[in-house]
Amino acid sequence: MAEVLTDLGIKDILAQFSIEQVNNGASTGGHWFNTRGEKIDSVSPVDGSVIASVNSATEADYEAVVLKAQEAFKVWRNVPAPKRGEVVRQLAEKLREYKQPLGELVSYEMGKSLQEGLGEVQEMIDICDFAVGLSRQLHGLTMHSERPGHRMYEQYHPLGVVGIISAFNFPVAVWNWNTALAWVCGDVCVWKPSEKAPLTAIACQQITKEVFDANDVPEGVSGLVIGGADLGILMSNDKRVPLVSATGSTRMGKAVSAAVGARLGKSLLELGGNNAIIITPSADLNIVVPGAVFGAVGTCGQRCTSTRRLIVHEDVYDKVVSAVAGAYPQLKIGNPLDENNHVGPLIDQDAVNAYLSSLEQAKEQGANIIVEGGVLTGEGYESGCYVKPAIVEAKNEMAIVQHETFAPILYIMKYSGGVENAVKMQNDVPQGLSSAIMTNSIKESEAFLAASGSDCGIANVNIGTSGAEIGGAFGGEKETGGGRESGSDAWKVYMRRQTNTINYTDSLPLAQGIKFDLG
């Protein structure tokens, strides 16, 4: 491992997860491979330090992990689901034990605020708790047969190896959204995390190993391969992986979907968002301001559910713009491990460049800058990844507004007439993840939630676009990919469905009254 170049106590955190002893990027849960792939430096956007380095997994390492996963599946699928749930329950307890150090590592490696880092670990705990209950409810249906003396029902069986491709912005929670459900369903998992956040992945693997070893879980139920897009391509084209769950950009998702679809596999896609809050004349500003500001600047605008657009009625436009813009000078930008700060850094210099390019394009396309952006320099901002959240007055049809920029840029625009005009503007983008309306009119809220209303997978009333609970299915439509993770009946995607008909008579009547007499 490279030397830790920080005085933030990160050495102690790495030691808790024995990360300093791991210099490779592949694991079957039982042991770490001596990988010899390209070296990946984990660079903290907080201060620009190289936290540690990892040798990425090779194709041979990937092959070994998948083979071990296949072996483990033959055993794990036959463990009773409630017993699999008990293992996940113990994982939740272990995550409670490690919540503080894991949350701090998330914050330092990815750059989100400490509160958000701790919140992400809490999401892991919550989905484990959800999955424990689910382990006793993996139910099918019974139905009446048209043939006498027959019983008919359907049941669900595990799929096998589930591939997980996760993004940097939620480096641990999205992995656990998938694994907690997949494991209680009887599947095994192989995870390719973002190469921008390898250390949090190693920490999760180490925590999981503690629990799995104590319960004699077969080696291979939790596999890990760290590396670049080449590993994602291998996984997407691998017929031994019946389901690939991929979180990331729409461009990446289209590539994964095409590869998985070509082999008639299943893909669960959670892709880009271009989320809007509609603000009507009756909206309560005490709700509008914190909802819009947190949605726009939380995680430095790097959530798929971040608020990108405010669609404000002309009657309250000036008042809303003044209130939201007036809140921005109160934002404290800096080290995310300092709980006094609201906004941390962007993930890396590429993200900063995309942010600056988007602001320049907005100006070129005729937008008006209400709150100026820019890169922060000086003491505390040495990494070059700290930027000022910006507010831009724009039109919905502008090319830059139609595009998702993973940065704290909020586009604000005006609508007139009824709420149906605002809904049309909201829906008139390629993405369809999260949406919200701020209103005290039941007619407006119901119109927003109707079939002719929001076309997004998530539609909220009087809360923002960001901050989903695990009890509901999470995902979106259109270029967001159509996948659903987390709560509700999202578990069904991790299983194969089987219809069973049992004849308990001495005759063989055929369906639909067909006669087949052999004489």
**Single-letter amino acid code for the residue at 46:** V
Q: Please name which of 207, 127, 223 lies closest in space to residue 170, comparing C-alpha atoms.
A: 127
CA distance 305 to 475: 10
Of how many residues is the chain composed?
Answer: 519
Please state at what angle helix 81-97 crosses helix 114-134, rounded to 10 degrees: 160
CA distance 309 to 396: 8
CA distance 486 to 181: 8
Q: Which residues are catalytic?
A: 270, 304
151-155's contacts with Cβ under 8 Å and 24+ in sequence apart are 151/501, 151/502, 151/504, 152/499, 152/500, 152/501, 152/502, 153/499, 153/500, 154/497, 154/498, 154/499, 154/500, 155/497, 155/498, 155/500
Q: Please name which of 384, 334, 382, 335 lies closest in space to residue 356, comparing C-alpha atoms.
A: 384
CB 168 within 8 A of CB 194: yes
* CA 133 remoteness from chain centre: 22
Q: Please name which of 116, 122, 170 lies closest in space to residue 341, comparing C-alpha atoms.
A: 116
User: Residue 515 contacts by C-beta under 8 Å, 6 or more apart in sequence?
Assistant: none
CB 267 within 8 A of CB 482: no
